[in-house]
Amino acid sequence: MIGISGIRGVVGETFTPELITRLGATFGTYCNGGKVIVGRDTRVSGEMVKHALLGGLISTGCRVIDIGICPTPSLTIMIDELEVDGGVMISASHNPIEWNALKFYEPTGIIMDEDAGREFLSIYYLGDFDYKYWDGIHDLEYDHSTEERHLKRIFNHTDIEAVQAAGPKVVIDSCNGAGAVITPKMLEKMGCEVVKLHCEPDGLFPHNPEPVFKNLQDLAETVIQEKADIGFAQDADADRIAVVSEKGEIIGEEMSLALAVDHVLSSEKGPVVINMSTSKVISDIVEKHGADLYVTPVGEVNVSKKMKEVAAVIGGEGNGGVINPAIGTGRDSLAAISLILEMYAQRGQPISEIAAGFPRYEIMKVSVECRRGETPRILTKLEEKYEGNRTDTSDGLKIFFENAWVHIRRSATEPIVRVISEAPTKQEAVSLNSEIQQYMHEQMDS
């Protein structure tokens, strides 16, 4: 899979050492043999991938700094802190354990966009690598300050005293991923009573790491058993977050962004940026605060670039990816947790009551297997079928209905088509999603 979220594949099948080394040489050439930092999540395959990558980077004269196991947002912060020419994060994010990936970052701390990606792939396919002679090869360097630098940024922009005074009991499920050490440490320093769930950084995921409803049952049960005030779930590289209330209710990934947006806009007015697949609750919150809303195609890079362009105060994606520009350029689950805990402490309300004050919509996310070459034809057929409706084709196809919408697009991280529908009720969201799926299957069968 090659897309806006990097290059990923199944280890031992498509994601091989030969491929990884070649990609390393490609990025080293792209960076003109500059200074590059490398980090990884806890996946079992991570060490193999790292060493294959290092060979390619070092062979092109790069000065490589290994920052070890860390969340993806920590790596993007380190790009800025160390003023390097690029960064590579080894992580397949929410994908299952058999997957791994390389995410390539620009000196801005933002992941490569499409234009940069085309230049990158041109170097890759031509094999025009800038290999250096023996006297142009540099030793690998190490930096162990990542955790300290990331937490310092968060604490500089958080009302720590308010959270400490509230002393919330928090359950954190890091899925044995990159957030397993730094997140409990952050919570403890903020004065929380911490219950750790799946916080062994061994990369053996107890469940699929995507923070969606079916993977949050352990967390919900633990929140109830421990009589905790709130629960958080991170994905494997700790850039996404989902929330569980004190009642064990799965507030979910969409509402994680809603909480963060509402809290920031309560004290700081400014633009907000989201993607096309994000719940309407965000636009309702932004309208309530009288702020400006910008909507981009799906993909962290699209949101991050637009946020920088319009000087947004908060933004993100409905998959639980909150971007706080005061802290970093990318999705950051730790920054999101700090915002939500600050909100909880300052408002003095249970998280269930805060969430209940927002407009409620039901969103349904389904994955449909579809041959890559078939997707454009099916989207065209769908656009023709709903030609009387308002549509947006800037990223796949989004169809608007009176009180609902559905977004159909090819996934950038898995070989599937995502069908996301939202409506005022679950029955309407399910019905709309099923209608679209049925038509897609009819077209595939024909």
The predicted model gives 36-65 an average pLDDT of 98
Q: What is the pLDDT of residues 262-297, one digit of tens each?
A: 999 999 999 999 999 999 999 999 999 999 999 999
Q: What is the pLDDT of residue 445?
A: 79
Domains and CATH numbers, the chain: 2-146 (3.40.120.10), 168-356 (3.40.120.10), 362-445 (3.30.310.50)
User: Which residue of the set 45, 91, 93, 256 is catalytic?
Assistant: 93
Is residue 394 annotated as a catalytic residue, yes or no? no
Q: What is the pLDDT of residues 325-379, one digit of tens each?
A: 999 999 999 999 999 999 999 999 999 999 999 998 999 999 888 776 788 899 9
| pLDDT > 70 fraction of the chain, expressed in percent and rounded | 99
The token duo for 273 is 């940026």
- At 2, the pLDDT band (50, 70, 90 cuts) reads confident
Amino acid at 99: W
**How do 2-3 and 6-10 pair as beta strands?**
antiparallel
Distance CA 198, CA 362 (A): 29
Confidence check: pLDDT of 58 > 80: yes
Task: Name 420's bridge partners.
Answer: 365, 407
The full 3-state SS of 20-44, as one line of letters, equals HHHHHHHHHHHCCCCEEEEEECCCC
pTM for this model (two decimals): 0.94
Q: What is the pLDDT of residue 253?
A: 85
3-state secondary structure of 52: helix
3-state secondary structure of 275: strand
Q: What is the pLDDT of residue 4?
A: 65
| pLDDT > 90 fraction of the chain, expressed in percent and rounded | 88
Distance CA 420, CA 406 (A): 5
Distance CA 305, CA 309 (A): 6
The predicted model gives 308-314 an average pLDDT of 98
Distance CA 208, CA 373 (A): 28
DSSP class of residue 15 equals B
What are the φ/ψ torsions at residue 230 (nearest 5 degrees)?
A: -165, 155
Please, how many CA atoms are within 13 Å of residue 100, restricted to the half-sphere of its CB? 28
The predicted model gives 404-413 an average pLDDT of 88
For the residues of 115-177, what is the DSSP string, one character each?
HHHHHHHHHHHHT------GGG----EE---HHHHHHHHHHHTS-HHHHHHH--EEEEE-TTS
Q: For residue 343, give the nearest of 268, 285, 263 by alpha carbon.
A: 263
